[in-house]
Amino acid sequence: MARPHSGLRSRQQGWLGLVVILVALAIVAVLAKDALKHYGLVPGTAAATKAKAGSAGERARAPGAVGAEALDLSTAPSTPANALERARGVEDMVKQQADERARRLDAGAR
């Protein structure tokens, strides 16, 4: 004779597993959000991070900071626009090299 409650117990275990997976996913989402904020990759949080960090001079004088002689404040960090320009320059160079190679192959075949 089959137990009527055995099917109910297996269904409850399935739901319990699903709830555990959802809780783990929520924990990973919170940790990922914190990591993205820490690295400044979340829009809108970069200004708050910069204001909290202080001025460049304060960061340079902070304990554990790199020596002031190694800190070059005159150079700007690379922006995405500069990266796009460099990529376009590389693309143009590759196209020129491909054209030269094609011309050499055509000249060698004659």
pLDDT tens for the 110 residues of the chain, in order: 455 566 666 667 788 889 999 999 999 999 999 888 888 887 765 545 454 556 666 665 665 555 545 555 666 555 667 778 888 899 999 999 999 999 999 888 87
CA distances from 43 to 1, 39, 47, 52, 76 (A): 62, 11, 9, 16, 20
CA distance 93 to 85: 12
**Residue 24 pLDDT:** 97
**Is the pTM higher than 0.75?**
no
**Residue 54 pLDDT:** 62
**Residue 37 pLDDT:** 86
